Chain A
């Protein structure tokens, strides 16, 4: 976990810290069990959101869904499979979407490296079947399934069955372009929008089951990107908030350590 903190300078900050802890004091006593207890409590409070998604009671919450706006376009992936964008890739799971093109010499290779790490790290959290990574080309006229295969080899992306699926897909330009605009990956300035070298370096991701979607820039801090993605896409509070609860505990422990040392 990337958590660099300055050593506390001066007793003022220290005493403040002590008192903040005193404020949270009662939970500190049984710190070992706190994490799971806190998470269980969170889970209970969220039961209706997580456990009963398919019941009639919460059906209505699912009525207006973000993914309803995604066209169910036909795609061909790097293995030559015919896929329906929504039905085969999005429905009922968590998904990470990236726009790229094989001739890109700008941000794509960097994005690929970040997504490779995420594939491994998020796969451990979500399990390989509940998460899929989808790279959609901006240049379907160039990027045939064979091109995509070659690109994957150059980038070191493997069809690894122990990891979540990573689908490189191409299709009809107009349809892909319409989908891109639907996903919010465009620039309001048509000149910038048409310039592929200026294409967005953002990851669009979401959980269709819970209808939680967001997008974040690839260039931000990796650990924070990862924890934000888990927080937004996570299937339950245990997944979503484990890092937030962990940060809280680390912060409290650090304050405690400082007090003991000084």
Chain B
């Protein structure tokens, strides 16, 4: 119903009159076909009309690119609304936690640390309750064109969750779509039941209580405050449909600010609301009827030619002459981006993925694979011009990945403008103090002496699909079982020819030690949750497995590759380290 509307509107927006004629012809043809859909006998008429339609499809379909011309930088970039809780505190719980089809995590009742069940994991604030519905919606991504999407609370991006460190929250998520969804809080430290294990679905029409502990693991008996995340995001992780649902818009931000970071804000070191802006960048392709183009049979990786920033195609954003904190997220399926400002002004980098860096660093450009985040500070008070563009300068021809190598990429300046900053007013007095070198969050390195096991994972392509160590994802087998509470060395080796694979590991951060035998660039030298593997790249990482038992997954975050089972399971257990064990728990 809604698509018919959008199609009509889209027809109006297409400049070529010829194109419009063929589209309406195709509409008429579809009607007649749909009516004769019941039997398989009456096909002779259908085949004729279908061929007419197919001719029309060459005009409508976005297989070779979005056929809708539009003027860039005419819409304002929206900031996703902040999700409001239904209630705070156990006595005010709006429903019985766990009383829904898919229940709640057992940890909700125990709150004990897996490596030491006599110990409770840290909590400080009363728990909060939220309710969210995943549903279809129509949005205006390209100016004047209605696009059917699918999003959390029916908006794209989904609402932003803002939580405090050590503040547990429960999100009852209803699935009002026809997809089998599974919501993953990317970059968080949470129990397996609600971690978005691909087969722990929310079936259509049902709900699951997602219990986000917002806690941090222990380090030698003391809470490891270095592990407190800041910029997380949530997105769909349902098996077989992740690529499709994420293209349709199932993604949103979850920003957590703990006491330490709040201190930085209070001392006017870091910008805070309304100068703390999450920016979600995702590339998409649109058919001429305004629908999002997606080909479920294209496994190489979805690439779009329209960049949607917080759900709008190439928007503008008004800023004052002061410092802003931007939380950049690449929410694309396969598109890698490298961000740069049009006047070549360097960014002040303050985080990688979920975690603040030990000190702010200067970054000329910011490379983000799918799922990677980076928080930066831009000081507009030093900009004389009234306009500046945020650009993507990275060249990428197909789903294999960007052109060039991980540390020697093909770029193009000027790049594609993503956001136009319109800078207004005089410099604001009393601005925040953050600058290159400012000390931020402490970092506790994992030591070589703590390593209990070394595992090698080889990512490669064979016969039209991608594998890890010659195997596909098996939802009932845990490929790696570290001892819970221990640290391990993982060698992530990409032998897939020219393919790039951003490897995302759930549960906790990992610390990149080496990339191809060399120390990694400084922005990746501390904590990450997604480790980029360029063509034939080998990364050595250290990682700890604390607080929760599994199962959890790690996988390529090129979502098409993940849907094709380029994914492995790890399950921290008491009597590890082991390999290839049955799962210790399962929460379908």
With A45-B205, A188-B399, A216-B565 as contacts: A54 and B34 at CB distance below 8 Å? yes
Q: Which of A87, A184, A201 interacts with B46 by CB under 8 Å?
A: A87
User: Are A23 and B178 within 8 A (Cβ)?
Assistant: no
Pick the interface stretch among A9-17, A120-128, A135-143, A152-160: A9-17
State the majority secondary structure of interface residues on B.
loop
User: Are B61 and A20 within 8 A (Cβ)?
Assistant: no
User: Is A60 part of the binding interface, using a Cβ–Cβ cutoff of 8 Å?
Assistant: yes
- Against A, the Cβ 8 Å flags (1 = close, 0 = not) of B298-320 are 11100000000000000000000
Pick the interface stretch among B47-55, B157-165, B351-359, B524-532: B47-55
Q: Which of A63, A187, A201 interacts with B289 by CB under 8 Å?
A: A63
User: Are B586 and A13 within 8 A (Cβ)?
Assistant: no
Q: Which of B43, B199, B298 interacts with A91 by CB under 8 Å?
A: B43
Cα A192 to Cα B460 with chains together (Å) = 14
User: Is B124 part of the binding interface, using a Cβ–Cβ cutoff of 8 Å?
Assistant: no
User: Is B193 part of the binding interface, using a Cβ–Cβ cutoff of 8 Å?
Assistant: yes
Q: Which of B51, B464, B581 interacts with A217 by CB under 8 Å?
A: B464
User: Are B34 and A59 within 8 A (Cβ)?
Assistant: yes
Cα A8 to Cα B3 with chains together (Å) = 51
Provide the residues of chain B in CB contact with A49, threshold 8 Å: 178
Provide the residues of chain A in CB contact with B193, threshold 8 Å: 20
Provide the residues of chain A in CB contact with B588, threshold 8 Å: 244, 247-248, 251
User: Are B474 and A220 within 8 A (Cβ)?
Assistant: yes
User: Are B7 and A60 within 8 A (Cβ)?
Assistant: yes
Provide the residues of chain B in CB contact with A221, threshold 8 Å: 472, 474, 476
Q: How far is the CB of A262 from chain B (nearest CB, A)?
A: 16
User: Is B431 part of the binding interface, using a Cβ–Cβ cutoff of 8 Å?
Assistant: no
B416-451 residues at the A interface, CB under 8 angstroms: none
Provide the residues of chain B in CB contact with A45, threshold 8 Å: 176, 204-205
With A17-B106, A41-B205, A72-B51 as contacts: A91 and B46 at CB distance below 8 Å? yes
Q: Which of B34, B37, B98, B291 interacts with A64 by CB under 8 Å?
A: B291
Q: How far is the CB of A91 from chain B (nearest CB, A)?
A: 7
Provide the residues of chain B in CB contact with A219, threshold 8 Å: 463, 465, 467, 472
Cα A113 to Cα B574 with chains together (Å) = 40
**Of B114, B178, B297, B400, which is in contact with the most chain A CB atoms at under 10 Å from its CB?**
B297
User: Are B98 and A215 within 8 A (Cβ)?
Assistant: no
A186-240 residues at the B interface, CB under 8 angstroms: 187-189, 192, 198-202, 204, 206, 209, 212-217, 219-221, 224, 228, 231-232, 237
Provide the residues of chain A in CB contact with B31, threshold 8 Å: 59
User: Are A213 and B110 within 8 A (Cβ)?
Assistant: no
- Against B, the Cβ 8 Å flags (1 = close, 0 = not) of A83-103 are 010111001110000000000
User: Are B101 and A6 within 8 A (Cβ)?
Assistant: no
User: Is B206 part of the binding interface, using a Cβ–Cβ cutoff of 8 Å?
Assistant: yes
B180, closest chain A residue (CB): A231
User: Are A2 and B476 within 8 A (Cβ)?
Assistant: yes
User: Are B30 and A6 within 8 A (Cβ)?
Assistant: no
Q: Which of A16, A107, A232 interacts with B110 by CB under 8 Å?
A: A16
Provide the residues of chain B in CB contact with A184, threshold 8 Å: 295, 297-300
User: Is A76 part of the binding interface, using a Cβ–Cβ cutoff of 8 Å?
Assistant: no
User: Is A29 part of the binding interface, using a Cβ–Cβ cutoff of 8 Å?
Assistant: no
User: Are A23 and B472 within 8 A (Cβ)?
Assistant: no
Provide the residues of chain A in CB contact with B107, threshold 8 Å: 16
- Against A, the Cβ 8 Å flags (1 = close, 0 = not) of B461-473 are 0011101000011
Cα A69 to Cα B180 with chains together (Å) = 25
Cα A209 to Cα B110 with chains together (Å) = 47
User: Are A68 and B57 within 8 A (Cβ)?
Assistant: yes
- Against A, the Cβ 8 Å flags (1 = close, 0 = not) of B169-181 are 0000000101010
User: Are B47 and A84 within 8 A (Cβ)?
Assistant: yes
User: Are A4 and B476 within 8 A (Cβ)?
Assistant: yes
User: Is A260 part of the binding interface, using a Cβ–Cβ cutoff of 8 Å?
Assistant: no
With A185-B464, A200-B463 as contacts: A5 and B203 at CB distance below 8 Å? no
User: Is B330 part of the binding interface, using a Cβ–Cβ cutoff of 8 Å?
Assistant: no
User: Are A251 and B586 within 8 A (Cβ)?
Assistant: yes
Cα A71 to Cα B209 with chains together (Å) = 45
B205, closest chain A residue (CB): A45
User: Is A259 part of the binding interface, using a Cβ–Cβ cutoff of 8 Å?
Assistant: no
User: Are A5 and B465 within 8 A (Cβ)?
Assistant: no
B563, closest chain A residue (CB): A214
User: Is B490 part of the binding interface, using a Cβ–Cβ cutoff of 8 Å?
Assistant: no
Cα A44 to Cα B203 with chains together (Å) = 13
Q: How far is the CB of A110 from chain B (nearest CB, A)?
A: 11
With A6-B582, A213-B296, A247-B588 as contacts: A54 and B106 at CB distance below 8 Å? no
User: Are A92 and B582 within 8 A (Cβ)?
Assistant: no
A34-67 residues at the B interface, CB under 8 angstroms: 38, 41-42, 44-46, 49, 53-54, 57-64, 66
Supply 8 A–B pairs (Cβ within 8 Å), ascending by A: A54-B37, A57-B1, A59-B31, A87-B46, A184-B295, A188-B300, A231-B240, A247-B588
**Other A-B pairs, 18, CB within 8 Å; known A224-B474, A244-B588:** A16-B109, A19-B106, A20-B105, A22-B98, A22-B109, A26-B99, A45-B176, A54-B35, A57-B1, A59-B4, A59-B30, A62-B34, A66-B297, A72-B50, A200-B464, A217-B465, A220-B474, A221-B472
Residues of A within 8 A of B (CB): 2-6, 8-10, 12-13, 15-17, 19-27, 38, 41-42, 44-46, 49, 53-54, 57-64, 66, 68-69, 71-72, 84, 86-88, 91-93, 106-107, 182-185, 187-189, 192, 198-202, 204, 206, 209, 212-217, 219-221, 224, 228, 231-232, 237, 241, 244-245, 247-248, 251
